Amino acid sequence: MRACIVLLAALVLAAALPPGAVHFTEIAAQAGLTDVFYCGREGAKDYILEILGTGVALFDYDRDGYLDAFFTTAGRLEGFPAGQEPSNQLYRGGKDGKFTRVTAAAGLESKGWGQAACVGDFDNDGFEDLFVTSFGRNHLYRNTGKGSFEDVTAAAGLDGRERWSVGCAFLDYDLDGKLDLFIVNYLVFDKSRIPLRAAIRSQPPPSTTTRTAGRIST
């Protein structure tokens, strides 16, 4: 009955709002979320790897009642100066609406080519854990419940062949009470075997091919 009342109230509220009545205001800077996250070269992109990323997960890792934010960063194929490589970042949310970077203290610094992040309490200890997909090695981070995470990728049997993993989801597909993990892998990317866009444009268009009575003529 209570669910019905809540649903009815939501429907009444939605009906009362004219289209376009809800507005969003960009407050990233005042919230303290000013770090730069990379996804390939700025401006023009030469490779498909540079157009996918990055990701974010909102969850309450320290169970203080305020959402925290975890961002993944990819990278740049040309690299970064030594010591300036970007890292995934975790920000702790406060009741004042501001976020504080706690990546190092939480043990989540990573220099890979991050893609997506998904959240689930895979060990059922009451603290949300984190899985991060990458172009390269994925990571499973167990929440210690003490404000930090530990990388348990290998111990969990997830340290196999490195691929380009783009998405993930925790779910209990067999209803045994233990979370399972679904990972979406994308294509095989080998930079050395892919021509630059300029080289592709300079190639002549493919010839017309016709098939007649089992024979192929060009």
Binding residues (CB under 5 A) for Ca ion: these are: 60, 62, 64, 66, 68, 121, 123, 125, 127, 129, 143, 172, 174, 176, 178, 180
User: What's the half-sphere exposure (Cβ side, CA atoms, 13 Å) at 111?
Assistant: 7
State which residue, 18 or 177, has the beta carbon closest to Ca ion: 177
Kindly tell me the burial class for residue 33, based on how many C-beta atoms sit within 10 Å of its own C-beta (0-12, 13-18, 19 or more).
middle
Smallest distance from Ca ion to CB 16, Å: 33
> How many residues are recorded in the chain?
218
Q: Which is nearer to Ca ion, 75 or 120 (CB)?
A: 120
Minimum separation from the CB atom of position 68 to Ca ion (A): 4
In whole angstroms, the minimum distance from the beta carbon of 128 to Ca ion comes to 6
Q: Shortest gap between Cβ of 180 and Ca ion (angstroms)?
A: 4
Choose between 42 and 125: whose C-beta lies nearer to Ca ion.
125
Q: How far apart are CA 67 and CA 119, in angstroms?
A: 13
Could you tell me the smallest distance in angstroms from the CB atom of residue 154 to Ca ion?
A: 17
Which residues touch 19 (CB under 8 Å, ≥6 apart)?
none
CB proximity list for 164: less than 8 A, separation 6 or greater: 49, 115, 135, 185, 186, 187, 188, 189
Q: How far is CA 109 from CA 65, 70, 72, 76, in A?
A: 24, 11, 10, 17
3-state secondary structure string across 189-211: CCHHHCCCHHHHHCCCCCCCCEE
How near is the Cβ of 37 to Ca ion at its closest, in Å?
Answer: 21
- Of the pair 93, 112, the CB lying nearest Ca ion is at 93
* Pick 63 or 197: Cβ nearer Ca ion: 63
Q: How far apart are CA 8 and CA 145, in angstroms?
A: 38
Q: Which is nearer to Ca ion, 109 or 125 (CB)?
A: 125
Distance between CA 156 and CA 25 in Å, rounded? Answer: 41
